[in-house]
Structure 1
Amino acid sequence: MLIPRFPADTLPATGSDGHCEIVDGDDLHSFFALRKFSGQWVCDKYAYSSVSGSGWGTVSNPDNSRAAGCSTAGGLLLKSERGMDVVPHALAIGLDKNGIKAGPVWPATLEDYAGGYSGPFPIGALLMLPASFNAEALALPESRTIARTLKLYGGRIVDATQDTMNIYAEIGSGWNQSYVDGKWSASFPADMQAIKSALRPVASVAAWKDRDGKPFTPTPPRSTNLLSMRGPWKPYPGSKLFGRYDARSDLYQSEATTEALAVQQSLWTSDEKDKFGWQKSCWNLNPEPGATYIVRAIGGGAITAKMQVKKSDYKASYVATDKLAPGESTTITWPIEPGTVTEVYVDKAKGAGASIRLELVKA
């Protein structure tokens, strides 16, 4: 993706993770291990998300710069928020691996790649301070604001740390009061220890509210779109590679072509305990055997897409759709047979540029 306005004074976070976020209108560009090499910016991972969106990964696009599958901008204590009585959002929390349990929970889609967890709290879990916690007894105003926020909104575990627990803040924001004017202050660490000791996981909730305070019901992950158009794509025999997946639009986009072309991707069912199986061309969440799904095409132009489900050794074909143009849909029943491979084909007619994605949503 082209980033039209890469700031000249960009400064990634210190440390090996090298996180950096660039906001351009509603576009949020997230980087992992961003660094300058021979005068050029390079990174180990890039992800796009919308500022007006939830900030969390989805089943079809689970990855981002933070281990939980969210942007590192999510939950940060900002410089502009200092002085508030309560920060108006949940906070981002990192735990040592001895505090994390394997297997992320909603709204997290992933967990730290290194693994090695031995604790009780999964990534994505919501931690809060009890109503009885006396925030006003803390020594510093920053500590009191953090505590009030954790009593009202809580904090989500989003990453693994080393030998510590973190509440993440913007670089240079001034939230960390351990050192003031170059001098060590014992008050802030003592406040943070009191907060950390009192945090408790939220076990159940009666209802949810959105960011505007209005009631809403979250959609279970398995009822969302399961099919990703990220690829990798390869040319269909007799064709050549064309187009690319665009993260902003979530569409496979093609330039104008002088001939009809076709590409293909494959997705295998896998053990869902491997949260990084999607990197090996596997489903992030496998479709449910015997369930009915709606397959719909979204996009525009002279382009079609189809999918078919086969036995993983390609010796049997279980179900297939027709070629679907943007705006068309069909219904299929997912095969009950285990161990399948799903092939997705995109066919582009000769002529002007076009774009498409297929979605697979439980009926």
Structure 2
Amino acid sequence: MGAKGKPDVWDYNQGVQRAITITHWPAGLTPASGSDGHADIAEPDTGMLHSFWQLRQRNDHWAAVGYAWSRLNGRGWGDPADFYQGTRAVGIPSTAGLIRRHEVEDGQPTYRHALAMSLTYNGLSSKPAYIFPATAADIDAERNTGSIPEGALMMLPPDYDSSKIANAHLRKVVDTLKTYGAYVVDRNVGTPFYIYVENGSNFNLHGKSGWNQDVGRELHRIRANLRQVVSSAGWLDGNGKPMKMEQPTNLLSMRGPWRGKGGEYDAINDQLTLEAGGKSRSSVLRDIGRVNWAAPRPGAKCRFSVQATGGATLALQVRSADMRDELFDSGPLADGASATLPCPLGKARYDLSAVGGKADATVRATLTKQD
């Protein structure tokens, strides 16, 4: 159920209100205690991570305001085609960067990943509101008065002395901030910075007194020494192997919604599966320049490319947002075919029409800038 008794939940991925079906709902699910009420549900059998915003249990049912999903084996961030892959402000799941319960007392000197951090209004910038790899920001980012955009990686300098920090939990966070840092993923109200920790982790910096002066002084010292990373000689993945932080280039999502006969969206592979002779159509109002670091420049050309099996074809028609003007029509394209069009600026209506062949088929497409 959606907000205020509405029957459906707002799906950030597809931009529609719809019912959400989860095959395995955890019996002990507890949403985050803050006002955002974040909760993520992992489904290993489908490879999906379901992310909810303002999830609450109401008597015998659950209700949420927003929903998005991502792949468990994905890159952890959204992309220009699917810029909301979670319900954090930056478009990622709330579990990304979260300090997990099993990590708190695992005997390791650091958490072996970047942490998730939020800043308040006077820390966050309004322009730009976010930077790569983030694909979104709080919708009222104009209220921000600081200088740090969401998506920024914050770190402590390597010479920050943590040896005298008596609190083991805080020392582990500090050493993690020196090694992996923390990505700014959201905004909070009134606190210089948050580091997000899983519910029930027994992570308590201040003890039973409610406030530890030594910890408080150290937190202020951390705040004063945090710096935004603006360049790097290289990057390592979660296994410590060199990797490239390349910007995704595809601007077109296959997520639908799809309507017709004999077609079904395959979420994990971002493709449409078609029965022999099946036909399916998707019509979505979208802005392919929605993500600031991937937006096509005025006058740029885009290439629409199709990958298909089983003799299927896919056609793209682009119309003005008010549907009065046809801006482009590729006609049916088979596997390996492509067409070039002027990159639409602003919102436009993107219609995808898939037609199956004589056998069961799959079809997907990309739309990329031709710089």
Q: TM-score range by the shorter chain?
A: 0.7 to 0.9
Match of 1:49 among 56, 66, 70: 70
Match of 1:201 among 203, 208, 228: 228
The residue identity in structure 1 corresponding to 2:337 is S
> Aligned residue for 2:168?
141
SS of the counterpart of 1:10?
A: coil
8 Å contact kept, 2:251–2:288: no
In 2, Cα distance between equivalents of 1:260 and 1:309: 22
The letter for the 1-side match of 2:187 is A
Give the distance between the partners of 1:51 and 1:349, measured in 2 at CA. 29
TM-score normalized by the length of structure 2: 0.80
Q: Which moved more, 1:104-113 or 1:342-351?
A: 342-351
Structure 2 Cα separation of the partners of residues 32 and 299 of structure 1: 35
State whether structure 2 residue 24 is matched by structure 1 residue 5.
Answer: yes
**Do 1:30 and 1:71's aligned partners in 2 also have CA atoms closer than 8 Å?**
yes
Alpha-carbon separation, structure 1, partners of 2:37 and 2:266? 24
5+ residue gaps in structure 2? 1-19
Given the alignment of the two structures, is residue 108 of structure 1 paired with residue 129 of structure 2, yes or no? no
Identity of aligned residues (%): 33
Preserved contact between residue 315 and residue 331 of structure 2 (Cα < 8 Å): yes
Counterpart amino acid of residue 214 in structure 1: K
Whole-Å separation in 2 of the counterparts to 1:362 and 1:216: 23
Give the 3-state SS of the residue equivalent to 2:221 in structure 1. Answer: helix
Distance 1:358-1:344 versus aligned 2 partners, 3 A rule: farther
Report the equivalent of 1:278.
none
The offset of 1:136, in angstroms, is 1.1
CA distance in 1, matches of 2:289, 2:281: 27
Could you say if the C-alpha distance between residues 8 and 15 of structure 1 is closer, same or farther in structure 2, counting changes exceeding 3 Å? Answer: same
The 5-angstrom pairing of residues 239-318 of structure 1 reads 245=265, 247-252=267-272, 261-267=279-285, 269=287, 272=290, 285-298=294-307, 300=309, 303-310=312-319, 317=326
| Bigger Cα displacement from structure 2, 201-210 vs 313-322 | 313-322
Superposition deviation, residue 311 in structure 1: 5.7
Once residues 340 and 72 of structure 1 are traced to their aligned partners in structure 2, the CA distance between those partners, rounded to angstroms, is: 28
1:177 is the counterpart of 2:205: yes
- In structure 2, relative to structure 1, the CA distance for the partners of 1:40 and 1:340 (3 Å cut) is closer
* Offset, 1:67: 0.6
Q: What is the TM-score when the length of structure 1 is the normalising length?
A: 0.81
Instruction: Please name the residue that 1:227 is paired with.
Output: 252
Q: 1:154: Cα distance to partner?
A: 0.8
Question: Per-residue CA shift, 1:30-73, capped at 9, x if unaligned?
Answer: 11111223412222222222233221111111112111111111
Q: CA deviation at 1:218?
A: 2.4
Counterpart pick for 2:330 among 321, 325, 338: 321
> Shift of the alpha carbon at 1:192?
2.1
Change in Cα spacing, 1:78 to 1:266, as seen in structure 2 (3 Å) is: closer
Write the distance in 2 (CA, Å) between the matches of 1:198 and 1:117.
21
Aligned residues: 342
Matched with 1:281 is none
Match of 1:76 in 2: 98
Query: What 5-or-longer segments of structure 1 have no aligned partner?
Result: 276-283
CA offsets 1:280-317 (integer angstroms, 9 cap, x no match):
xxxx9544455454423345556432113456676765
- Residue 42 (structure 2) aligned to one of 20, 23, 28: 23
Find the counterpart in structure 2 of residue 279 from structure 1.
Answer: none
Counterpart in the other structure of 2:53: 32
What residue number does 1:14 align with? 33
Name the stretch that deviates more: 4-13 or 208-217.
208-217
| Deviation at residue 4 of structure 1 after TM alignment | 2.1
Give the AA of the match of 2:136.
Answer: L
2:180 aligns with 153
Conserved 8 A contact 1:85-1:145: yes
